[in-house]
Amino acid sequence: MIDILRRITREPLGMIGLVLVVLIVISALLAGVIAPYDPIELRIVDRLQGPSAAHLLGTDQLGRDLFSRVLYGGQVALKVALISIGAALGVGVLFGMIAGFGPRWLDNIIMLFFDTIRSFPTVMFALATVALVGPSLETVIAVIVVTTIPNYGRVVRTQTLSIRSNEFIKAERAMGASMVRILGVHVLPNVIGPLMILASMDIPTVIALEAGLSFLGMGVKPPTPSWGSILNDGYTLIRNTPWPIIAGSIPLVLITLGFTFLGESLRDLIDPKLRKNI
């Protein structure tokens, strides 16, 4: 891990991505220390102010400090991304390895399940689910987990199918090794690398989906700060002030660039076929 970080810092884009990701994560974790104001505190007398020493990104229509709301919105974004991606990875790895190593009929059933989920457009599926269940952070996470599982499951299945025919796998099976041992000791370490690359690039997509649902009023419930709800406020007030839209857009752009650059660097380092020194 230390070696990978050292090699990432040698790449300009990797270094930029790592710095952006670290800054965003630290700012979200330390929001309670860094934020100068309570993100939901109403100060009507300070409404719609521009950037100043007191309010670095200005204030919204209720006088709430936008800088504080952006910091706390980062906690919501990272919570959604880490929980949903982590859960989808766990389930996707399990189903993918079972599909790739199990009998043909079980593989067909699992792939039918994956294809059924992927047949629904992600945004439409999310909107329909939220409309039926109701907007909440838990609903957003559940939607992202369900729609992301097939992405990881297909990758793991493909990798497992290519590994199961190797000689060392056949030797393990001949010696009576259980399927759990083969999958855990031999298959999983060989598929985790590509999954880490894919997960790092999926994080900004997941955060953008949560922001989009919150923008439509179908994500995090007010007054909880979210980058999407900040953008929604800015859209309704665009004729009065541009600062809420700017405040909500900046973190989305930065986190997308950060994880994309970091994912590209990880891909070049972890995937031997894409290493620049080969």
* pLDDT tens-digit map of 251-271: 999 998 988 888 887 777 766
Condensed to tens digits (0 to 9), the pLDDT of residues 86-129 reads 999 989 888 888 888 878 888 889 889 888 888 888 878 888 88
Of 196, 197, 232, 193, residue with least CA distance to 212: 232
Instruction: Look at the pTM and tell me if it is higher than 0.85.
Output: no
Of 166, 165, 159, residue with least CA distance to 188: 159
Which range (20-29, 68-77, 208-217) has the least confidence? 208-217
pLDDT at 4: 64
Taking residue 181's Cβ as centre, other Cβ atoms within 10 Å add up to 11
> Which residue's entry shows tokens 């419930």?
221
Condensed to tens digits (0 to 9), the pLDDT of residues 202-240 reads 888 888 888 888 888 787 887 888 898 899 888 888 888
**The two three-digit tokens of residue 26, written as one number:** 């630290």
Are 98 and 160 in contact by the 8 Å Cβ rule? The answer is no
Which range (107-116, 131-140, 162-171) has the least confidence? 162-171
pLDDT at 271: 61
Average pLDDT in the 158-184 region? Answer: 72
pLDDT at 172: 67
Condensed to tens digits (0 to 9), the pLDDT of residues 243-256 reads 889 988 999 999 98
Calculate helix-pair angle for 188-215, 137-163, nearest 10 degrees: 150
The angle subtended at Cα 60 by Cα 57 and Cα 61, nearest 5°, is 160
**Which residue ranges form the domains of the chain, and what is each CATH number?**
2-274 (1.10.3720.10)
Are 35 and 68 in contact by the 8 Å Cβ rule? The answer is yes
Cα–Cα dist 275/90, whole Å: 27
pLDDT at 70: 92
CA distances from 254 to 28, 69, 77, 217 (A): 13, 16, 13, 23
